Amino acid sequence: MQSLTHRRRRGAPSAVDMEERSLIDEGDTILNKKAVYEPSNSQRCRQLVCSRSWAVTILIVMGLFLVLIAIIASFARPQTLPCTPLNTVTEAVTTPTPKAPTYIATNGKEFPWKDIRLPKSIIPESYNILMHPNISQSTFKGRVIIKVRATAPADFVVFHIKELNITHFDVTSLKDGEPIHTMEYLEYKESQQFYIKLGRSLEVDEEAEVTVKFEALLVNKLVGFYKSSYTTSSGEKRDIATTHFEPTDARAAFPCFDEPELKANFTLNIVRDKQHISLFNMPLKKTEQYENTGLLLDYYDTSVKMSTYLVAFVVCDFANISKTTSDGVKVSVYAPRELISQAHFALDGAVSVLEYYNSFFGVKYPLPKQDLIAIPDFAAGAMENWGLITYRMTAILYDPKVSSLGNKQWVATVVAHELAHQWFGNLVTMEWWDDLWLNEGFASYVEYIGADQINPDFHMHDQFVTEDLLSAMYLDSMSNSHPIHVPVDNPDEINEIFDRISYSKGGSVLRMLRNILGQSKFKAGLTHYLTIHKYNNAHTDDLWSALQDANPNLHVDIKAVMDTWTKQMGYPVVTVKQTGTLLSLTQGRFLLNAAHTNDAVPSSDYKYKWYIPLTLVTSADNETHQLTWMNMSSAETTVPPNIKWIKANSGMNGFYRVNYDTANWQHLIKQLMDNHKVFTAADRAGLIDDAFNLARAGLVSQKIALDLTLYLEKEVEYVPWKAALDNLAYIEDRIIYKEVFTSFKAYMLKLISNRLAALQWTDSGSHLEMFLQSNILSWAVKLGHQPSIDKGKQLFKQWVQDHASISPDLKNVVYMTGVKYGTEEDWKACWKVYEETNVPSEKQKMLVAMSYSTDTRLLNQYLGFSLNKSKVRSQDTERVITSIAANPSGQLLAWRFVQQNWDIFSDRYKEGSFGMSHLIKGVASHFSTQFDYDEVHNFFATRDAGSGTRAVKQSLEKIQMNIDWLEKNEGEVTDWLNQHSS
C-alpha cells in the first residue's frame, strides 16, 4: 500500500508537488474514549444553602465570585487542563490506561476464545462469496461458504466479523455431507470475532463448510466495502461501491479468517445493475440474469491462494483502456468516462514496469490480467490488491497539459510501488503484521527502480537520498521511533506502523544490503526467496536465509548483520578521528534529543550497536570506495598520507550518520567552496544533512552546519539544495518571530540569488531542474523577494482575469503567491477552480494553495469547509487542516480547530490507515514553547488517540526538541546570521 507522505515544508512547496505525498509517514486509525474536563456550575449551585447570617451570605457570594474567576481561567484556552511541566520526552504523554479485556459477548455471556489471534485448529481453504450491494439504498447483503480444514481436533470455529449482522449460519461436514449441530454462537466486538460451538469435534484433516449469510450498511467510510461517488461535468452524482481491506477490514465486508497467514482461494459472484460493471481480482467468467429481478449476476474465476486483505471488488460505471504485455497479461486502467483520457500515462507505465519486473525478479507475474482503477474517495495513495489495484485519483491520472512533472513522477512511483507488491506482499506475504516491512520496505525501494524504467529522466536513484533515506533517518532519530520489525497485536497497533520506518527505513536498509552484496547477488537472492515461498508466507529470517543460500560463497553473515538494523530502533553515528594515516572509528546511537531521553526508552538486545559497512573516500583517492566493517564495535583503518579530507558513507548508501573532528569538517567546507563537484550530489546532500542534524544533537557547532551552506551559491543540482532547504526551513520555523529573522531572510536571498537569476519564471529545463526551480521560486516569494512576488501576482492575475495558462511546473508557486498576497476574491477564484476542475491533480493544488492565505477569517472558514463533506472529501480533510497548520497565520487556528472538533475527528478516523496520525503530527508538532508543550500534553492526556498514540508522543518529542534548540542554539545562530547576511 502506498501511503500519502507530506514532505512539503511550510510556505515552500516542493517541486515534486509534495502536496501529493502528504507528512507520511504513516497510516493510522483511532478509537476514542474522550474524557472531558468541564466544571459544573449547576452542581455547585445546588450545594448553596441560604443562611440567616449576612456574613455567611457575603462569604458565599465571594466564594461564587472566586469560582467564576476559576472557571473563566480554566477556559481561557479551549479544552485545556491545568499545566504540569514535564522534564523528559518519554514522560510526555500519559495515555489513559486501557481497560483489561472482559471477554463478554454481545449477549452478556463469557466469550470462550481469549486471544486477539484466531486459533489455528481450523483453517480456511477456500471462500465462495456472493455479494449483493444495493448502492442506492447504501446497504449490502451476502453469503459466504468457507471451506475449512481441522489441523487438530476442534469442537468450535472462530472467525472475524466487523459491523456485520449475521442472519444465518450452518456447518456441514464434507466427510459425510451431514450438517453438524451447532450448540451456541457468540460475538465479541472488541476482538471482532464470532464463535460457533459445534455439537461434535472435527477430526484432524476433516473438512467442513461454514455457510454464513449477512447484511450491513454500505457507507462512505473509506474502509471495508464502502460507497464512493463522483460528479459528472453536467452535475450528476454517480455512486460506486468499492473495497479497501488492508490491514484488517476484509472482515467488514464478509465473515472471514482475516489474518495474512490464513491464505485461501476466493471465488466471487456479485450482483449489479445493468448500467454498472463489476471487477474482481480475477477475470470475469460469465454473466447471467439474477432471479428475474432485472439485475445481473457476474461470476468470476477462482483466485490464486492469497490473504484476505488482498481481496478486492468494485461495482461502478467506469470506462477503461487496455494493453497487453509481451507475456500476454492484459493490463487495464478504469476511471470515470470523462477522466479516462488522463489514464494513458499510467497504463503505458504499468505495462513497461510489469514486463521489467518479470525479468528483474526472475519469477513471472502469475495472473492473466492486471487492473488499475481510480477511486474517487480513497484513504491511502493506492492499494496492491492482487490483479485489481485501487488508487486515489491523483495517484493514477495525469493530464500533461495541466499536471506538473511532480504529478507525473508521483503517478509513476505509485504504479511502480503497487506492481512491486504483486511479488513482495502478494506472491509472498508476511506471516504477521510485525513483518509489514517485508511488503512496504521492498516496494518503497523497488518503486525507484520501476519508476526509472518508466522514465529514466526522473533520476529516481538520486532522489532516494532526500525522499526516503534522510526523511527516515529524521524520524528514527527520535526516542519514540520503533524497530522495523515490531510486535503488534490489535488493529490500532497494526495501523500505527504504516509509517516511514516500515516504508522508508525498510527500503533504505535493503538498499544498503544491495550495495553490500552487489546487484547480481542481491537479485539472485530475491529470486530464490520468491521461488521457495510463492503463494505462502514468510518471516524476515526467511529472506536472510534465501539471500545467504543463493550466494554460498558470501563472506557475510546476512542475518547477523541485518538483525541489528531490523530488530532495534534507531541507527548509529560513526565518529571518525584521524591521527596521521590511522583512522579510529567509533559508533554510538544517534538521538536528536538525547538529553531528554531516560530509562523508559526500550532496551535493545544489541545494546544499540550495529554491524556497519562503513565506506569512505579521501582527497587522495576520491574515486575509490574503501570498505571497513564495524562489527558492533569500534574499528581502525588506514588512509594515504597527507590527505586533505575524508568523506565516509560514500554515495549515502548506508543508514548511518558520520561525524568528524573539527579539522576535517573545515577541510570539507573548503573543498566544497573550491570545487564542490568532487563530491557526488548524494554526498553533498549527506554532508549537509549530517552536519545540521549533528548540530541539533549538540555534537557539532551550528557554525559548522551553517558554514557548509556557503558554497550553495554555486550549487546547481536539486538533491543537495533539497537537503539544505529542508534543514534551513527548520531554523526558519524556530526564529520566524525573532528579530534575527531579518538577517535570515537576507542570507537566504543572497544564497539563492544565482539560481533565481538563472531559473527565472521559465518552463524549460530537465526534470530535476524544474523541481529546483519550483523550490527556489517558492522560497523567494516566501522570503519577500519583491520581483518574484510581483511576477507571481502578475501571472496569477492573468490566470484569474484572462484565463491565461500557467506552466504546470510553475502552478504551485503562482497559486501560492496569488493567495498569500491576494484578496478574498483571489481566494474565491481558487475555490471556484477547485469545485469545477475535473483534473484531480489540479484539485489537490487548489486545496493546498488556499491554505496560504494570511486572512484568518478565510482560514477559519476554510477549516469549517474541511468538515463539510459536500465541500471537501473526507479523504482530504486532514490535508486541508495540516496545510493550514503549516502556515504561520493558521498554525494556532488549526490546533484550536482540532481541539474543538476532537469528537468528530475521533469518529471519522477511527477507521482507516493514515488520517489520525497525519492530523496529530500536522497540527501539534510545530510549537516551540513550554506553554504549548503543556497544552498539547494535557489535551491528549485524557484522550485515547488509538493508533495515533505514537504520533502524540512523537509530536511532543518534536516540541521539546524545538524548545531545546532555541535554548541552546539561538544565540550562536543569531551571531552567524548577522555576520553573513550582508
Q: Please answer whether residues 86 and 598 qualify as being in contact, where contact means their C-beta atoms are separated by less than 8 angstroms.
A: no
Q: Which of 19, 418, 496, 957 is catalytic?
A: 418
**Rounded CA gap, 440 and 133, in Å?**
32
Measured distance CA(796)–CA(133) in Å, rounded = 46
Q: What are phi and psi of 978, to 5 degrees?
A: -65, -35
- Answer positive or negative: Cα dihedral of 7, 11, 15, 16: positive
418 is catalytic: yes
| Whole-angstrom distance, CA of residue 916 vs CA of residue 951 | 8
Which value, to the nearest 10 degrees, does the dihedral of the CA atoms of residues 956, 958, 959, 965 take?
150
Q: To which residue does cell 504523554 refer?
A: 93
Contacts of 339 (CB under 8 A, 6+ apart): 374, 393, 397, 838, 840
Which is nearest to 206 in space by CA: 154, 258, 146?
154
Q: How many CB atoms are closer than 10 A to CB 612?
A: 27
What is the per-residue DSSP string for 601-636? SPP-TTTT--EEEEEEEETT-TT--EEEEEESS-EE
Cell 510545530, residue located: 926
Q: What is the DSSP letter of 912?
A: S
User: Can you list the pairs that 301-305 forms with residues at least 24 positions away whose Cβ atoms lie under 8 Å?
Assistant: 301/267, 302/126, 302/265, 302/266, 302/267, 303/265, 303/266, 303/267, 303/386, 303/387, 304/265, 304/366, 304/367, 304/386, 304/535, 305/263, 305/264, 305/265, 305/535
The span from the CA of 345 to the CA of 32, in Å, is 42
Question: Where are the extended beta strands (E) located within 411-542?
Answer: 428-430, 498-499, 536-538
**What is the tally of helices (H) and strands (E) in the chain?**
29, 31
Q: Which amino acid is at 724?
A: A
E-only strand ranges, 257-357:
265-272, 277-280, 284-290, 295-300, 313-316, 319-324, 330-335
Q: Give the long-range contacts of residues 765-768, CB within 8 A, separation 24 or more.
A: 766/457, 767/405, 767/409, 767/455, 767/457, 767/458, 767/459, 768/459, 768/462, 768/463, 768/717, 768/718, 768/719
Beta strands in 632-747 (DSSP E): 635-638, 646-648, 657-660
634 Cβ partners below 8 Å, 6+ apart? 584, 585, 586, 587
Our measurement of the distance from residue 911's CA atom to the centroid of its chain's CA atoms, rounded to an integer in Å, reads 15
* Residues near 495 by beta carbon (within 8 Å), at least 6 away in sequence: 27, 28, 29, 247, 912, 913, 947
Q: 413 CB contacts (<8 Å, ≥6 apart)?
A: 447, 448, 450, 451, 460
* Cell reading at 1: 500500500
Burial class of residue 519 in the structure, from the number of CB atoms within 10 Å of its CB (0-12 exposed, 13-18 middle, 19+ buried): exposed
**Burial classification of residue 958, based on how many CB atoms lie within 10 Å of its CB (0-12 exposed, 13-18 middle, 19 or more buried):** buried
Question: Shortest CA distance to 372 belongs to which of 406, 349, 401, 355?
Answer: 349
Catalytic residues: 418
